[in-house]
């Protein structure tokens, strides 16, 4: 079975479940360095996404990603809404009107998602942000989608872990200076969780 709109929508719904399961963990990570809203905002946002997908499943993978983007941008607020929303919007643009995703399109989508986050948030690698997970994930390669997404998820996990010793240079954690050292960046963690969930969904296809 190919990776069509229905399977992308199912992967998004599964990812929403993962976000819900990790809500408290993400809140705790954000509580340590920020304002303790990340887990709740992401849970709230993906809850709206699931409701929107319940009402109608768009025809193409790109249209599903675009729907996710518009819901996250219009309903979440904070930094996560525009940044995660922009990443899905750029990913949607990269896959265009294709009926089914290919490894090349997934790779292009990850690259575009990274480009969007960097353009909106102006963060660079090593600033202790979601970019530290998304950038290595976007460089991952694979002959098929499950292999590619698994490699991306592993790279994102390592990237998220790499934020622990860093000083934050963007976002609310940047106010902490050296006191941010020793904490995992919640945005990088949620990128890793989403990619792991997408990889698991792809393996079930």
Q: Which of 3, 5, 15, 41 binds other proteins (CB under 8 A)?
A: 41
The radius of gyration of the chain's CA atoms, rounded to the nearest angstrom, is 16
Q: How far is CA 163 from the centre of its chain?
A: 16
d(CA 11, CA 119): 26
Q: Copy the structure tokens of residue 140.
A: 């991952």
Interaction pattern, residues 149-188, with other proteins; x per rule: CB under 8 A: ------------------xxxxxxxxxxx-x---------
Q: Tell me phi and psi for residue 4, to 5 degrees.
A: -95, -170
Is 78 a binder of other proteins (CB under 8 A)? yes
Among 9, 19, 69, 83, binds other proteins (CB under 8 A): 83
Q: How far does CA 162 lie from the centroid of its chain?
A: 17
Could you say which residues in the range 97-136 bind other proteins, by CB under 8 A? 120-121
Q: Which CB, 42 or 148, lies closer to other proteins?
A: 42
- Residue keyed to tokens 């990237």: 159
Please state the closest distance from residue 82 (CB atom) to other proteins, in A.
Answer: 4
Q: How far is the CB of 71 from other proteins (least distance, A)?
A: 10
Please state the separation of Cα 53 from the chain's center in Å. Answer: 18
Tell me the per-residue interface mask from 18 to 37 with other proteins, x by CB under 8 A, - otherwise.
---------x---x-xxxxx
Q: Which is nearer to other proteins, 29 or 202 (CB)?
A: 29
The Cα 117–Cα 40 span in angstroms is 20
Whose Cβ is closer to other proteins: residue 45's or residue 146's? 45
Report in angstroms how near the CB of residue 79 gets to other proteins at its nearest: 4
| Region label for 200, one of left (φ > 0), alpha (ψ between -120 and 50) or beta (otherwise) | alpha
CA–CA dist 126, 131 (Å, integer): 8
- Count of positions on this chain that bind other proteins (CB under 8 A): 35
Which chain residues interact with other proteins by CB under 8 A?
27, 31, 33-37, 40-41, 44, 73-83, 120-121, 167-177, 179
């Amino acid at each position: 079975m190919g990776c069509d709109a229905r399977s992308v929508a199912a992967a998004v719904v599964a990812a929403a479940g993962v976000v819900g399961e990790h809500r408290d963990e993400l809140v705790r990570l954000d509580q340590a360095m920020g304002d303790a809203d990340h887990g709740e905002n992401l849970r709230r946002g993906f809850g709206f996404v699931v409701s929107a997908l319940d009402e109608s499943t768009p025809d193409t993978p790109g249209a599903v990603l675009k729907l996710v983007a518009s819901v996250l941008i219009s309903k979440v607020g904070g930094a996560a809404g525009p940044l995660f929303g922009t990443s899905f919007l750029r990913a949607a643009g990269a896959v265009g009107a294709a009926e089914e995703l290919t490894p090349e399109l997934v790779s292009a989508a990850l690259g575009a998602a990274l480009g969007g986050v960097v353009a909106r948030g102006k963060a660079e690698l090593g600033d202790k942000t979601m970019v530290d997970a998304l950038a290595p994930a976007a460089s991952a390669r694979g002959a098929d989608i499950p292999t590619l997404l698994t490699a991306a998820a592993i790279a994102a996990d390592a990237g998220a872990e790499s934020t622990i010793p860093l000083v934050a240079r963007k976002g609310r954690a940047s106010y902490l200076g050296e006191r941010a050292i020793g904490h995992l960046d919640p945005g990088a963690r949620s990128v890793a969780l989403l990619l792991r969930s997408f990889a698991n969904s792809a393996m079930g296809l």
